[in-house]
Each structure stands twice: as structure tokens, then as C-alpha cells.
Structure 1
Amino acid sequence: MRAAGCVFAEDEADLLVSAARTPEELTLMVERRACGLPLEHVLGWAEFCGLRIDVDPGVFVPRRRTEFLVGQAVALARRDAPDGPVVVVDLCCGSGAMGAALAAALPPGLVEVHAVDIDPAAVRCARRNLSAVPGHVHEGDLYDPLPAVLRGRVGLLVASPPYVPTEAIRLLPAEARVHEPMVALDGGADGLDVVRRVARAAPLWLAPGGHLLVETSGRQAPGTVEAVARAGLRARTADCEELGASVVIGTMPATPVVTGPRV
């Protein structure tokens, strides 16, 4: 495996040995990994926020840097201490890792999770990962499949949308470029096409004082802040140097902001 380019070959080998049920299965798993398949797809799971998240072949693998977004969301939920359940919406949910992690971190019975993805394979995977929450997983484009009853009720709206500029896709590691869905990676010419759509419609769904948290890159954080602020939310950036993570947080005003005369 080291000869095949696996940087952490020994650690990965230990995981494969513990996961394989037979020597033949171990051989097959090693061959698949050596051919470039992501370790998480070989194992069938990824560790995320202390949870074991199912990850099927072809489904976006949750990144460690995204744990920073989850931590920021949990801190906001605990600070706000709402009286009733917190409605959590996980857009571009992939495997449903963020929704599952938020449900695990917040008090039982006080979280209502809705997750959305446009990729049917991701939706199937997310339904398994959120089956114990319980969570509701919807297939469709961003907000389109969400129940209308959620409008104005969402306390935490989290998103790890595709934010890689189209021209930069070719620079990604082969594990991502070849084995993960392009819809989870390609963010358009400047990487912010989906981010802008997420931000633009967020005020329709957020409760007063609710929060939008969007994962982005340090380079694209200013553009993401601009998109979130333009939507009418109070925007700021949080960074974690250790994980190389950047999150833009937009907060819905507690009272409506009048932007012009009523007609």
C-alpha cells in the first residue's frame, strides 16, 4: 500500500485487517485501496465527530475539516438554548454526516433533522445514517423538496456545498476527482454558484435569530460573506488553522428588517 502511494499505509492496513472477515476479503480490500479507491469507500464507513458514518461507493466522503462547522453549530445551539426542538436542515448533505453529528451532540428529543441532497446515492446513504435520529432525508435541489411547514422555523441551516471552481477540479487528488460525484465538488466558474443560491433563499427558511453555516475555503470566504450579507443576514467568518477549515456564519435578525416601503 505504501508503494501505491498511501501516506498512512500502516494505519490504513490496521483498519483493513480489522474490517475484513476473511483473508480473501482482505486481499480484495487491499487491491481496491491500492488502485486508488478512497479508504472510506473500501471500508464502507468514515469516522466523523466520533461517529461511524456509512459511506457507499460514489458518495462524497465527509471531511475532517467539516467537524469544525459542526462544532460551531453546536456552540450556537447551546448558546441560544431554545425552549423547544431545534430544527436543523443539512443542505448538500451527502452521507448525512453533519445532520447525524448535530443530532448526537444536542440533547435527545430536542433536534428535528432534515437533510437534502440531489444525488440519489447520497440520499440512500443519508437515510441509513439518520435512521436512528430520527431524521427526514429529502431528494432534490437545495430547498425545493423541503416541507413548506419548515419556512421560518429553521434554527440551524448547515451546508457544505460544492465550492471548487470548475477549472480547479483537475487539480484535486484522484480519490476525489475520480471516485466522488462531480455534483458534490464543482461549484461553477468561481466556486460560489451553489453558495449564492444557498444564501439567497436562506432568509425564507430561517427562524428569527436562526443561523446559516456554510463551509468554504479561506480564499472564497470573502465572496461567501458577501453572498450571505447580501441576503440580509449578519455575516462573519470563523476559521480553524489546525483543520484548514473556514466557515461563514450568517445570523437572521431577531426582528424583521424593513428594506423599503411596503406596496
Structure 2
Amino acid sequence: MMQALPPPPPAVEALAPERSVATTEEVRVAAALTDARVMVDSSFRGASIVLFGAVFNPTDDPADVVVVVRGPDAPVRLVKKTRNTGVWLNSRPVLFEGAPGFYMTASTRPLSDIADFGQLRRLGVGLDHLRINAPQESRTVTRYGVRDVVVSRLEDDYLDWRRAVIRLREGAALYNSDPEGVEFVDRGLFRAEVELPAVAPTGEYFAEVWLFQQGEPVSVSNLTLTVEKVGIERDIFEFAHRRPWTYGLLCVLLAMFTGWAASRVFRRH
């Protein structure tokens, strides 16, 4: 005897998926890093980190993405070669008290095509607009073991000294600007590479991902990146900073022992 099958369940009307108001009505950018922490040890030869993100743009106006990565600030000591009575001598050193140890920009096209000079200067975006803290007052101090280091307002010479800082850091691959470094891999999805050289300073890095429309910044995403020493290098670094006098004495003793051992070896031969 056959049994009657139960009636089918009532049809449920499919609901349209809800969409975030921020996605549909607000122009914004979101970004992240493939690795927000870089470990530095004796085998460190640099690192390549991918920054990726998405642009939410419900309007018909095209948008540009600009990535700025800035490393920890550190003082920079500079001297200038001057000719005096036929002899080249170093000028009195000048100390910049706040230059970023690392700085890079990457964008979808040249910065000058994305925004005007005033906007870039206000935001500090680009090597031409990089904020480097110049000395604020005239005085002499002792830095890096050198006496009478001049820390002064550079006035008209500031731009020349500032260009020298940027030129030296570019030569060490610590400063870089890539006008085509941001690549759209799909509609609204982009990527950029952050290349850290082997001499990249340790500390906390700050990344800004700007979204521009019609020359105006309309959104920004802020990220952090940590570069830190690990292993024996970290232990030595922390010991040198906690007990500098002891560290210096041990280095002198080690140098003396190494010299004595080398002289003994060569004397036997």
C-alpha cells in the first residue's frame, strides 16, 4: 500500500542581499599589508611586502590611489666640503633632528597629475614635499662624539641641505618614488610593493593610502608596519642601549684580544 508524500514546503521569496551604506554611498579606500611585521636577523637581505586594497567608488568620477610609507625619524648629520687656501676641508657639521629613516611613495600616475602643488605640500606627499625637521635655533652641541656641532636655522641654505639628505637616502635605497607603483589588478582592486633594503632602520613604520578625486583627497587608510631585530642581534642591540659604557668597554677588550691573538698567530709563521 503506497503512502502519500508530504506536501512541499511553501516557497520562500529570496531577499536581496543587504549592501553596506558605506559601500554604496561613500567614496572610500580600504587597504592592508601581507605582513605587518618584519624580522631582522644576521641573514636579513631586505624584504618585499605587498600592500593591497580596494576602492569603493559609486560615482562616475575616476579615482587615483597614492601610497606613502614613512619609517621612524632619526637625526642626520651632514658636512659640506669647502676649499680653503687650496685645501679641501669639511665644514662644521649640521644636524637635522627629524628626517625619516625610510620614505617611499607609489601612485597610479605621477603625483603632479593627481593633485596640485598646494595639496601635496599640505599632505606631505612626495619627496618634493617631504617634511624634514630643520634646526630651529642657533646653538652648538656635542653629538655622535663630535664637539661644536652646529644646530641652527639654515635660512636660504635649507633647501640645499635638504636635497643633500634626500640624495644620500636615495643612494642607499631608503627613499624612493614610483609614479606607476600602484597597479589595479581588477575593478577597484589594487596592489603596491613596499621594498625594504637590508639597511632599513628598525622601528614602527606608518603607511597612508590616499584616494584622490579631481585633485582632492577624499579618503585615507592608515596602516602600521613593525621592523624589529630578533635573535642575538636583538640581544646585542638592547644591551648596547641599556648599558652603553659596558658595551663600549667590552668592544675595546674584544678588539685588544683579537689584535693580540692575531699577532701571536703571525709571529709563529
Q: TM-score range by the shorter chain?
A: under 0.3
TM-score under structure 1 normalisation? 0.27
TM-score under structure 2 normalisation? 0.27
Higher relative contact order (CA 8 A, sep 6+): 2
More helix by share: 1
Larger Rg: 2
